[in-house]
Structure 1
Amino acid sequence: MPDAYAREERGDASPRRRRRTIAVATLLVLAVATGTAVAVKGGLLSFSESCEDSAVHLTLAASPDIAPAVRAIAGQTLADEVRSDGRCLDVEVVARDSYKVADALASGAEAPGFQVWLPDSDLWLDRAEGLGTGTPISPSDSVASSPVTLAMVPSASKRLGWPEKTYSWAESVGAALRSGKVRLGAADPARSATGLLALTSIGASSAQQGGDSDTRVAETAKVLAERMSDSDAQVLETLARSGSGAEEGNPKRNQAVLISEQAAFTHNAEATGSGRLDLFYPEDGTPLLDYPYTLVDEEKLTLPQSRAALRFMTLLNDRSSQAVFARYGFRPADGGADDAVVTPAGGKSPQPYDTSAAEAPSAKELQEMLGMWTITVQSARLTTVVDASGSMATPVPGSGRSRMDVTKESLIQALTQFTPDDEIGLWEFATTLDGEKDYRKLMPTRRLGDPAQGGSTHREKLSAAFAGLQPVPGGATGLYDTVLASYQEARSTYVKGKFNALVILTDGSNQDENGISRSALAARLKELADPERPVPVIAIAVGPDADREEVAEIARITGGDGYEVSDPAEIQAVIFRAIMTAGQNGRAAQE
């Protein structure tokens, strides 16, 4: 096996890296098992057939930044008549935004139309896998990398002491934003891996400073949101084009942007003088865009396609291809710095451009940051509805605590991620909880920063209400009546300009035979749902007794969805993931 594969077998490999190795190993075993027969029948030992007659055709969807380099390599591969099992490789490379591909694969609504996907970051793999009901993917090795950096026009970088002055992520962004010193732009973290990795790095760096880091990160996100672009290419277009005059003083033009080193390399190749960019490499490490080579719906690939896809991946990692990637401003997959790339991109010593890459954030950290971004950009108005039936007293295996105890703790932790402008309320439900009603309002949906009786805030009162939730002995799950009542109130109290949603947590299915039926509930929700005033239901099924399909079917009527957690401790991450997904769906519908 090539060295790149052998490295993945070390004990410190991450689960995702191990998963990639398994995907590659599957293809290699397949190759060994069928190698002799294919060699004879497929022409591996005889190259008499012409490329036109024998080519194996593949379509590869690549992130727009790396697509030109991969297209160049694919073109040279065909010109050189490079073969797989005696058949030429004909790889068509199409540029596709990674977030669009991830969302399409997660939905599984249509056949993808390509056999290989090359997103710009690992983070899209989790988004593409979604709930596991979409188009399956098989990630493999990275083929290139590029660090995420803070780029500035020369006049701004000199004010911050470039290149001698070095900063952490939190310090660099803080210095740029302090007193409006530098106008800073970024791509939407929900659509840009660069934007999300940078924002997550700022959050981690801020946490190292201590104090109220969540508030600082939320404030930073608010500022970035005001100068946000949809894509990495668009954020570069917001830069001032000259170092003086109207362009430099134009408040609509940015003087600094969060972009990849490769994007700066491409920009500088076309820019001159003061239009070139200088790069700050934060001293606490820069995360990498890592371009994972990924098979799509592998089981449906023919044997020649599978083997050709593996062959092309091997070619992308060979010396000549790596030289092509370098000419386009990419680093090798291990992140190693090369002055031939760094200097044209705008890097210069003593900026720490050759230090080890920052540890990649976990999927949970990314989801929490995306949730924070969504509710920061558009403040949230959430009504939280918690199951208080007797089954919530069931112990969570291995924890020594009940489902309700772990649920409360997760909700209290999630509450810390919301800003004072966010509005949150609390209901509980169980059969005959309040007379004939299955539900009870415990806290109104109000701003977390609003004052409350006793000199506290609504946030503090709500946290105490979460902590006070208790299972109702003998109480059953009165789900349907509760969903209808809470949805009606959320609709009637809708606040324009905020992300309105209803979050329902339940560990069972409906058990109130005297209440509204499922079909009647569905009909009422269809009548109430209004695309102009959306209130998606985010339904979270907790534990093995909950029916995710039931709550998901109900939630989808309103534009929301259902989620399942086996451990209530996962609720916090799922809430932010659901908010991000629902928020993005709402934006897409409006567009």
Structure 2
Amino acid sequence: MVAGSAAAAVNADVLSFGGSCGDDAVRLDVVAAPDVTPALRAAADDAREKEITSDGHCIDVRVTARDSYKVADELRAGKGDPEYDVWVPDSDLWVRRVGLGTKQTKVSPAGNIASSPIGVAMLPSAARSLGWPKKTYDWPRLTAAAMEGDDVRLGAADPARSATGLLALAKLGASAKKQDGKEGETRTAALAKALSKRTTDTDGRLLETLARDGSGAGPGGSRHNQALILSEQAAYAHNASAGRKSGLDLFYPKDGSPRLDYPYTLVADDKMSTDTSRAALRFMTMFSDEAGRKILTEHGFRTDPGPPSTELVATAGGRSPQPYADDASEPPSDRQIQQTLGMWTITVQNARLSTVVDASESMRQLVPGRAQSRMEVTESSLTQALAGFTDEDEIGLWEFATRLDGARDYRELQPTERLGEREGGVTHRDRLLKAFSELRPAPGGATGLYDTTLAAYKKARSTYASGKFNALVILTDGANQDPGSISRDSLLAQLEELSDRERPVPVIAIAVGPDADKDEVQQIAEATGGSGHQVDDPAQIHAVILKAIMEAGGNRP
């Protein structure tokens, strides 16, 4: 019974202290990426056993595993007080994502406790077919070689939810563009499309897709992956438990391996007590001590800037002359990350966009330098934008002014449906094009922005399509002019309440012309996790829509 209780205490991460600590310990709650959680728990146990103190108080560290993207989205939203003091994601990418929010919880990176390079791990039969370990590849050629035909099946975790997948895709794209310019970008998109068919939701599920023997057969004879985009630590952990027969060999691309960097991050430290803050920093210092570094190394992490231990690399599946000791490649910029996620969103996922167009009287005004009205140029730009979407994408159209449909300021002209959907021999794309061409400013109509936005957002939320990129696109050339509408504060509050980061529908709001209020559309968009933009010339609308989709894709959970 005692042994059972002790095991339960260990599993619950609540080992008790000796008598010298008593009830005076400082409690520290930590959430961490699942891959680093076992090492942090081992360090927490070590702190208890050695009764390590901070300002004379023992530290009682409780570590919970949570996917980094989920914590990032929670902190970015800034709703409520987090029930943890420290966050250790697998990459600084997630800390940067938190900073994209307008009401985010304060996060303060205090240093990096470990690192792990990213490569391509393969079953031995697949690795040797590509010349491992003597033959080295750069990222574009390695992924292309691993995806030609069905001889080697490459899998990855979703770059929208996995730093490993995202960093690898960003490096692949940067290398391909450097080598071949626009043609390289096109090839990267094609590789992303092919890779998406063998992508899992999270890193934790990726290894489950691995074939169990050299034949590539999975359970029941299914065609499982023979190669995976993995961190060195993930390959180490797999090989350490699987044994050589089921182990993986690891390619380290010669154009540089991006690295997971495990930033030790204080959460809402401006609200922390002095004791908690100091305990948090004391726990971090354990990973710069020999004992702490040893724990991390034993779990497959790198802790020093110098060459890694040969034992770590060998267990992870690395061999010379693979360039496993080379310096890490430069981390991608925010712009590169945004472009990569935007490319992934557009290339891999179909879109579901409800488009809402201002039809107020002011849309009759001529565009400077053109013999066309704002509405005419808007129609042309929307037509151009539509050409960039496939038949599987879903697009709809509303118009708004004031009292367009009885007391309502808006009306739906075309429902949000597949562009390739046919009815009476006519596709939805054709019906949309006709609706665009028939857009006209409403005589005497003002800008009924608030009521329209709320109604359109409710409709987009209620018709959310899983597996697609859902968004609401609003085009307006003025501020709200309907005195009988809800207030701006009420609109923003309701949009925030309706938004759901698990089923995101960002608003992409575009202020058209010099009279439009960019600040207003920006506030409206940001309440839903979207973005506000301004264009002086409606001809720029199609480019802004695609750019905004890429930005929204880059900010997705």
TM more than 0.5: yes
TM-fit CA distance, 1:546: 2.5
Amino acid at match of 1:215: T
Q: 1:504-546: per-residue Cα shift (whole Å, max 9, x none)?
A: 2557531255x86669x97xx99xx999xx9946143669752
Supply the distance in 2 between the matched residues of 1:495 and 1:73 (Cα, whole angstroms). Answer: 44
Corresponding residue for residue 549 of structure 2: 575
Kept in 2, the 8 Å contact 1:372–1:418? The answer is no
Provide structure 1 residue ranges, at least 5 long, that are not aligned to the other structure: 1-48, 396-403, 451-457, 466-473, 585-591
2:522–2:533 CA contact under 8 A, matched in 1 = no
**Residue of 154, 158, 181 corresponding to 1:184:** 154
Contact 1:430 1:475 (C-alpha < 8 Å) held by counterparts? yes
Q: 1:265 is matched with which residue: 217, 226, 236?
A: 236
Distance of aligned partners of 1:273 and 1:312 in 2 relative to their CA distance in 1, 3 Å threshold? closer
Return the alpha-carbon distance in structure 2 between the equivalents of residues 412 and 357 of structure 1. Answer: 45
SS for the counterpart of 1:179 is coil
Q: 1:295 to 1:251 in 2, by over 3 A?
A: same
* Contact 2:509–2:522 (CA under 8 A) maintained in structure 1: no
1:291 corresponds to: 262
Task: Name which of 274, 277, 280 aligns with 1:306.
Answer: 277
Letter in 2 for 1:551: I
| Cα gap change, 1:82 to 1:91, in 2 (>3 Å) | same
Offset at 1:481? 7.4
- Bigger mean CA deviation after superposition, 294-303 or 241-250: 241-250
**Residue 151 of structure 1: how far off its partner (Å):** 0.4
Once the two structures are superposed, the pairs formed by residues 234-249 of structure 1 within 5 Å of their partners are: 234-244=205-215, 246-247=217-218
Pairwise CA distance, 1:277: 0.5
State the shift of 1:501 in Å. 3.0
Question: Relative to structure 1, is the Cα distance of residues 497 and 278 closer, same or farther in structure 2, using a 3 angstrom cutoff?
Answer: closer
SS of residue in 1 equivalent to 2:31: strand
1:64 aligns with 2:38: no
2:89 pairs with 1:115? no
Q: Is the deviation greater in 231-240 or in 537-546?
A: 537-546
Query: Take 1:133 and 1:325, find their aligned partners in 2: how far apart are those partners?
Result: 34
- Aligned partner (choices 486, 496, 519) of residue 546 of structure 1: 519
Matched ranges for 1:50-449 at <5 A: 50-208=20-178, 209-244=180-215, 246-247=217-218, 250-332=221-303, 334=305, 336-384=307-355, 422=393
The secondary structure found in structure 2 opposite 1:241 is: coil
- Distance in 2 (CA, whole Å) between partners of 1:129 and 1:202 is 25
Aligned counterparts of 1:252 and 1:73: Cα–Cα separation in 2: 40
What amino acid is aligned across from residue 305 of structure 1 in structure 2? T
Q: Structure 1 residues 387 and 108 mapped into 2: Cα distance closer, same or farther (>3 Å)?
A: same
330-339 or 183-192: bigger deviation: 330-339
In structure 2, C-alpha distance between the alignment counterparts of 1:229 and 1:572, rounded to whole Å: 26
Gaps of 5+ in 2: 1-18, 369-374, 422-428, 437-443, 537-542
Helix, strand or coil: the match of 1:316? helix
- Distance in 2 (CA, whole Å) between partners of 1:322 and 1:491 is 48
Matches within 5 A, 1:12-31: none
Alpha-carbon shift at residue 182 of structure 1 (Å): 0.8
Moved more, 230-239 or 330-339: 330-339
Q: 1:320 to 1:479 in 2, by over 3 A?
A: same
Q: Which secondary structure state, in structure 1, belongs to the residue aligned with residue 344 of structure 2?
A: helix
Instruction: Give % identity.
Output: 52
Q: What amino acid maps onto 1:64 in structure 2?
A: P
Cα 1:80–1:162 shift into 2, 3 Å: same
The alignment partner of 1:504 has SS state of: strand
Instruction: Sort the Cα spacing of 1:159 and 1:100 in 2 relative to 1 into closer, same or farther, 3 A.
Output: same
Following superposition, the deviation at residue 112 of structure 1 comes to 1.9
Structure-2 change in CA distance of 1:59 and 1:224 (3 Å): same
Q: Distance in 2 between matches of 1:162 and 1:259?
A: 16
Aligned length, in residue pairs: 497
TM-score (norm 2): 0.73
Question: Equivalent residue for 2:8?
Answer: none
Query: How far has the Cα of 1:92 moved from its partner?
Result: 1.6
Change in CA separation of 1:567 and 1:478 when aligned onto 2, cut-off 3 Å? same
1:423 shift after superposition:
5.8
Q: Name the counterpart of 1:25.
A: none
Residue equivalent to 2:425: none
**Given that residues 62 and 95 in structure 1 are in contact (C-alpha distance below 8 angstroms), is that contact kept between their aligned partners in structure 2?**
yes
The amino acid of 2:118's aligned partner reads V
Letter aligned with residue 264 of structure 1: A
* Alpha-carbon distance in 1 for matches of 2:205, 2:464: 33
Q: TM-score normalized by structure 1?
A: 0.69
Once residues 530 and 561 of structure 1 are traced to their aligned partners in structure 2, the CA distance between those partners, rounded to angstroms, is: 8
- 1:262-315, CA deviations, whole angstroms, 9 ceiling, x for partnerless residues? 000011111233411111111111111000010011111101111111122122
> What CA deviation, in whole Å up to 9, does each residue of 1:224-278 have, x standing for no partner?
2222222222111211122248549944311001110000001111123341111
SS in 2 for 1:180: coil
Shift of residue 499 of structure 1? 3.7
CA deviation string 1:8-40 (max 9, x = no partner): xxxxxxxxxxxxxxxxxxxxxxxxxxxxxxxxx
Residues of 2 paired with 1:416 and 1:143: CA distance? 48
> Residues 232 and 333 of structure 1: is their aligned pair in 2 closer, same or farther, counting only changes over 3 Å?
farther
Distance between the aligned counterparts of 1:231 and 1:448, measured in 2? 31
> Residue 383 of structure 1 contacts residue 490 of structure 1 at CA under 8 Å; is this kept in 2?
yes
1:123 to 1:506, Cα distance in 2 relative to 1, 3 A:
farther
Over 3 Å counting, the alpha-carbon distance change for 1:440 and 1:274 in structure 2 is: same
2:504 and 2:264 mapped to 1: Cα distance?
Answer: 38
Separation of aligned partners in 1, 2:520 and 2:463: 29
